[in-house]
Structure 1
């Protein structure tokens, strides 16, 4: 007959469970307090202008519109000049703010063309009270593929945009914030690198976002005494074109905020700590993810991404067949 477990074992389990529940409750109450309090006046706190990268679609477009709704003028930086102009006109038609546009292919950082674009960005912000920088632009493709299946240059484009360009744009805007003694930098990270231990078949993407989180945390420590708040926002999936339809249509769909809903929450979180996942649905997913052992995460992610990879291949074959028949 086996000996019953000693009382201290059960007490330790109760203690661990109590600590976890207390931590969860604290995070929930802090989140609710932030949601209920009056939103911070970002223009008064940080400055009259914001620089937003990747503002022509998805989260970036919604964040730009949200900042404009809050009375902040915008410097918009993106690849396509026509899309920039369309976004600029939309913003000015809805809100009484000024806009500037800088056409910049962020995948060209470190090249002569990229250097010229950086000079144009510095010229565009010269003399402006730039109080907010939102590094939103990012590349998520190639998606759900093995490393050896894609040409190295495609991976390097992802690295240049997600990592190198974010660093250069930050370095261009930060000195003015330091000089004025105020500012906020928001770098768009990902829960794939912060809440989940591995992201197989998307490993370069997750690795670049891990850089963003570490970069942001270190800058937060370096510059908060100088009045500059630096934050990495690490969302789960948001209902944009970057998210495959197979994910938008599965069990996660109730947890996918729209870009506009995400932008409202994101703006409210600016200046509140070095790392956050702004929406309620993503906070719940983060808490759920923290309960699962790493081995379970690894198995689930690999299984799901292999399923998405197979779905992509079937869709590609069907498209090729349709075009051949056509």
Structure 2
């Protein structure tokens, strides 16, 4: 026989489930009719009274049913025994859709679009952070005898192209030498180490290579060190409008959330705090430090591969959210984004 606490959690779980699907306050009669709780209506009413007294549910209007509070959602999320698994077909479809991306930007855009469609929430994804990136390959392409194109490919799939204006013409042999020197200095190194190595390269080469090395190093250091990594990709912002009633129908509340998404700093901070692939973090309502998004919940995790974290990914939406499904979707998309990018 289940304990009183287990029975009351089953009542709370049923209230959350019904409210997420109907967006209507839930009464005791509906719970007894829809869920096999195995107890009488009187017992359910008593359990609901206790849950309300303890702050897990509330009554929005006199003579109405009950709805979960932020504390109730937290209890529900903390005691989810099993996240809804994605089917083999769903997982395969996600992987094939992401693999169809032509480059890093396309893969990330596909990821947020897919995650927004799966969860019907706003999907957010942080561009691969430079601090975690390594240089996979560097290519030197002569455009003319006095101009080079440097192509830097990171292990996250990011590709940077930079022009180098030379002070004098350069031979094919010198181009080949430069390619070898830069490759030896950069490839396989994290960006911080790579920037130091390329900066020191000018002191290690013959006189005839010093000018092209110095000019190339100057361009590369700017690429490796000074570029901002704080950038988000968003998808499904229109889902906020569809869920407007969850924010009290107030234009001001909706505006605050949209401003937070546009400014990005608040959301980036949340993603940065949850960058452990395989570990999903759920923040609900009043748990948010920033007042702009206190009417929302954020489900997030890290994505990456081979022990490296590239960035964060998640969804933002109302506290009335299908948490098991959203957690499963965020986990799956994060996993496959990491696999796709690491394979490129």
Scaled by the length of structure 2, the TM-score of the pair is: 0.23
Q: More relative contact order in 1 or in 2 (CA 8 Å, sep 6+)? A: 2
Structure having the higher helix fraction is: 1
Query: Could you say which structure has the larger radius of gyration?
Result: 2
Structure having the higher strand fraction is: 2
